[in-house]
Amino acid sequence: GLEIPPPVVEFALERLTRRNLTNCHFIECNANVDARNVTRAIRAAGGRVKTVTVQFPDPHFKEKHKKRRVTTPQMVADVAEALRE
C-alpha cells in the first residue's frame, strides 16, 4: 500500500508482522507522484504487480480541487502499465 501519513504506514507494517504476512508491504509516499517509480522498482527487482486497489480516495469534484484528487488519469495510466507487464 502507498500511504502518505507515516503513522498509518507504521500501523499497517506492525499488523503485517503480527500476522506473519509476507506477500504485501506498505510504503510512505504519495501515490500520484510515486506510483510509476514504485511499480517500476518492483518489476526491476523481479517482482510482479498483480493487483492494485484504491481504498477511500478523497472525492474532490470541484475543478479548483483537481490537484488533490487521488485517482488522476496519469496515476491510472501508471497502474495500467504495471498490471500489463
Known catalytic residues are 58
Contacts (Cβ under 8 Å, ≥6 apart) of 71: 54, 57
